[in-house]
Structure 1
Amino acid sequence: MPVAIVGAGPIGVTAANLLGVYGVTTLVIDRETEVIDYPRAAGVDDESLRTFQTAELVDEILRGTIQNVPLKLFDGGGRCLADIRPTAQDYGWYKRNIFMQPRAEAVLRRGLARFPHVQVMLGTELRELRQDADGVTLRLVTATGEQHEVRAGHVIAADGGRSPIRTQLGIALEGRTHPRKWVVIDCAHDPLDAPYTALHCDPRRPYVCAHLPDDHRRWEFMLFPGEDADEMLTPERVNDLLRHHVPDPGVVEVIRARVYTHHSRIAARFVEGRVALAGDAAHLMPPWAGQGMNTGIRDVTNLCWKLAAIVQDGADGSLLETYDRERRPHAQAMIDLSTTLGRVISPTRRSVARARDWFIRGASAAPPIKRWTLEMRFKPVPHYQDGFVTRERPGTRRPAVGRMMAQPVVETADGTCRRLDDVLGPWFAVIGFECDPLAALDAAELAVVARFRPRVVKVVESRAGRRHHDKPCADSGTVVVEDVHNELRAWFQARSGNVVLVRPDRYVAAMTSAEELGDALALLAGRFTGSRVP
């Protein structure tokens, strides 16, 4: 078995779908038999939707998703401090979207049925994991007590915040646990006309109110010292919490209520031999930025193509080490953002709350800060500088290497408009803007290109005419597309180079010219095989 995934939550099943698309034989193991239905993630961002697009499940997930949802920050008097409405779709999707996690998980699980090479073992618990130089042995126990062993080349530990695998490997979970607990209440029959997510910075009791799909709403209330968590979940106390915010709590149907403790923690390392931690097994963060699940999705988007390259393309095992170097710093940045937002919402001293409100209003009066806030530019964007990437050219104003490639709409030869990724396919891609990206390469360099099995794409300007479409390319399989909205022109012109190598996770591994592409690909091919070190 090339890859085993322990944990069939959203991170594990997303990983399994990606590996399924890549053609990797995979086993998914989980001790539970059904999707967990209690309150968890409610937000899915543009990067995660792009991953679901690669997994060919985004349309079905969007059927149960509210897209382009504003985020508002209110003071204790109900006055709006900030109204965050990011409308840009740099990666092809809106940045803030609200969904029901159990429903999305069901879609992801059904998606696995497409792949005869992906097997799912539910109701099965991992008891022990042993690894050696050649692979990993997993000792499993079924719900009926049957024991057996499975041998895997690599393991993805997506087994949650209390990860038994992380514990067995002796990997520390560094950081802190926050002292205040929060009660989370999911309701049906939403009586409010408030189609947004609201962070209420009310010193009397900070709370969150989020509009969910299908007439549902989520409430999150801070608990004070001395308040008993179990008591706060009784119907009487839940009604007490809601009665200050809805006209008639009796109309609201409480579906579930749970108490959560928030953590800001990260694993000391994400890779141990042939085992990689992902999702909550690797990092835990407060929910305020809505990035816990999304950060886990980024993990497996980065990880799975590397495992596929090792298993199927003979890539060197050192490629797995770049997962830790690329993902750990960004996961920490997301933890820091979530922790900071928690500090903004949670003060209960009125003097501190007034100072915070004054500061936010004053800062928001400055146009640059207002734009920075409204477009959600405070969200850390991954920039992989130490991993499977080349060096960016000195003096580059807007570096592209190590950052996610834009995803505009392009038009194919038959006149169909499609998102760029649907043209690139799920694996590597070489894109040339208004040039044949392979035209300057000799036979040896073309052989290096073939090492990555890329889709080769030539982008021409909007309404360029048949002369540009029909010009022969070095690779007869090159796909020619039009830059419908002139977005790729702007993207390339703001950076240095007209050719990029795009990784399967849609990050730019190299940006160069057609004349220098051979050198860049030779460097990356060396890292791919382990014959050259970064």
Structure 2
Amino acid sequence: MHQPALEELLASRAVGLPGVTVVQGRQVVGIEEQDDRVVVTAEDEDGTAQTYTARWVVGCDGSNSFVRDHLDVPVTDLGFSYEWLLCDVQLHEPGRFDPTNVQICDPARPTTLVGSGPGHRRWEFMRLPGERAAGLNREETAWRLLAPHGVTPDRATLLRSTTYIFQSRSAEQWRVGRVLLAGDAAHLMPQFAGQGMCSGIRDVANLAWKLDLVVRGLAPESLLDTYTEERRAQVHKSILSSVQLGRVICVTDPMAAAERDSTILAGRRGRGPAVPDPALPLTEGLRHRRVDGSPISPAGEVVPQGQIRGLRGTGLFDDVVGRGFVLMLAEGADADLNVEQSAFLTDLGTHVVRLLPEDGTPQNMSVADVGGVYRTFLARHEADAVLIRPDYHVYGAASGLGAAAALVDDLRARLYSSRSS
């Protein structure tokens, strides 16, 4: 994808949302937390200051985060860092690249080639030991390095050429009082697994529904502590996987590279890690557990995404049913919820869905499981009911009489406990 185009779409969407005010051209210079609010001071280009008051502030302000520095939280640095020249190119004529994404592990110059949306492509060139960054970060250097790939000024436009230093770092705490961190402000990782922006999106997917519950008074502020617990553990795995891939790729010693190549080609042990599965399960935080605290499978897993048929047509589950909490019931299972439990689910905005066979007739609370993705999932875990969080992680699953009611009671108890863990 072409990131500037994506950002334009996101900005356009934000402007059109009711209750959202977009303010640009200002730099945050101060954050002051008071009893029940946070006061943020920002300055425009002329130095004119403006204050903004909010109950909660989320710093998504990038790798050089002012918010993170203001919070003065410790940062873990794995010490794996290299500088690369990034070249974004717009091709004058459509070209075919097979495969679309390529990592060239040439010790003479490790190079990355990736697709970047229609008509766009990105090349990244590693700075070699002893090579000056100033000499690398020049337009003529970019064209010289692009030329062997058939990219010349008469065939393409160089949209951007800049050096950047990728790092492997993670903040120890992503919440301090009423201020939180997300995205690059909370973590940085090498680009090799392609999980940087993806991780930031997962951050806000985890945080948004929790903030919503807290703001609406449906959960205590301590629920937000699970944000750091859950996401930092997942991000740590992504960072480690990215670093492991980088250690395979960023080899400039010819002898070491030859040994690496022979090992990989021979398929021997130690050939280098594969790209990690991005659907990492939760290992901490808000999950259905036993009395002793141990997790109950499949709590924490990412629920599969399949096709269903409902009253509004056929499509992906999330598009047909909607976002938010979901209580999924096996065919024939009875929710058997009392008034208090039903009211709790209603307050959460929960979708209660009963699964039918593929040829079943959808009704108000039932959908036909096209392809059997969800019925297979329930059968694999011997579950009659599955409660799914708004970020698509399974809160918990249960079987037998009163399974759904037990899950609902457990979620309510954990939401209202002094600290979910």
TM-score relative to the length of structure 2: 0.91
Q: Which moved more, 1:505-514 or 1:280-289?
A: 505-514
Aligned partners of 2:59 and 2:247: how far apart in 1? Answer: 31
Aligned partners of 1:393 and 1:486: how far apart in 2? Answer: 33
Q: Aligned partner of 1:182: which letter?
A: W
Contact kept, 8 Å, 2:385 with 2:397, in 1: the verdict is yes
Q: Aligned partner of 1:137: which letter?
A: V
What displacement does 1:442 show? Answer: 3.2
What SS is found at the alignment partner of 1:519?
helix
Partner of 2:207: 303
Q: 1:485 to 1:179 in 2, by over 3 A?
A: closer
Q: What are the superposed Cα offsets for residues 278-331 of structure 1, whole Å, 9 maximum, x if unpaired?
A: 000000111111111110000000001000011124311011000001000111
Partner of 1:445: 341
Aligned partners of 2:403 and 2:378: how far apart in 1? Answer: 16
Picking from 328, 332, 336, the partner of 1:431 is 328
Aligned partners of 1:437 and 1:118: how far apart in 2? Answer: 40
Q: Aligned partner of 2:51: which letter?
A: E
Partner of 1:382: 280
Picking from 111, 125, 136, the partner of 1:221 is 125
Q: Aligned partner of 1:427: which letter?
A: G
What fraction of aligned residue pairs are identical, expressed as a percent? Answer: 30
Aligned partners of 1:532 and 1:281: how far apart in 2? Answer: 25
Q: 1:303-452 maps to which residues of 2 (within 5 A)?
A: 303-363=207-267, 378-379=276-277, 381-391=279-289, 399-413=297-311, 416-438=313-335, 440-452=336-348
TM-score relative to the length of structure 1: 0.73
Q: Which moved more, 1:139-148 or 1:310-319?
A: 139-148
1:520 pairs with 2:418: no
Aligned partners of 1:393 and 1:488: how far apart in 2? Answer: 28
What displacement does 1:521 show? Answer: 1.5
Aligned partners of 1:201 and 1:393: how far apart in 2? Answer: 50
Q: 1:165-176 maps to which residues of 2 (within 5 A)?
A: 165-176=67-78
Contact kept, 8 Å, 1:451 with 1:525, in 2: the verdict is no
What SS is found at the alignment partner of 2:22?
strand
Greater than 6 Å deviation, 4+ residue runs: none
What displacement does 1:105 show? Answer: 0.6
Aligned partners of 2:283 and 2:383: how far apart in 1? Answer: 18
Uncovered stretches (5+) of structure 1, i.e. residues with no partner: 1-98, 471-477
Contact kept, 8 Å, 1:337 with 1:379, in 2: the verdict is no
Q: Aligned partner of 1:151: which letter?
A: T
What displacement does 1:138 show? Answer: 1.1
Aligned partners of 1:491 and 1:254: how far apart in 2? Answer: 48
Contact kept, 8 Å, 1:180 with 1:261, in 2: the verdict is yes
Contact kept, 8 Å, 1:433 with 1:489, in 2: the verdict is yes
What SS is found at the alignment partner of 2:88?
strand
Aligned length: 417
Q: 1:437 to 1:317 in 2, by over 3 A?
A: farther
Q: Which moved more, 1:244-253 or 1:516-525?
A: 244-253
Partner of 1:510: 396
Aligned partners of 2:190 and 2:6: how far apart in 1? Answer: 21
Greater RCO (CA < 8 Å, at least 6 residues apart): 1
Partner of 1:489: 375
Partner of 2:4: 102
Aligned partners of 2:330 and 2:92: how far apart in 1? Answer: 49
Q: 1:216 to 1:114 in 2, by over 3 A?
A: closer
1:132 pairs with 2:34: yes
Contact kept, 8 Å, 1:393 with 1:496, in 2: the verdict is no
Contact kept, 8 Å, 1:390 with 1:523, in 2: the verdict is yes
Q: Aligned partner of 2:411: which letter?
A: L
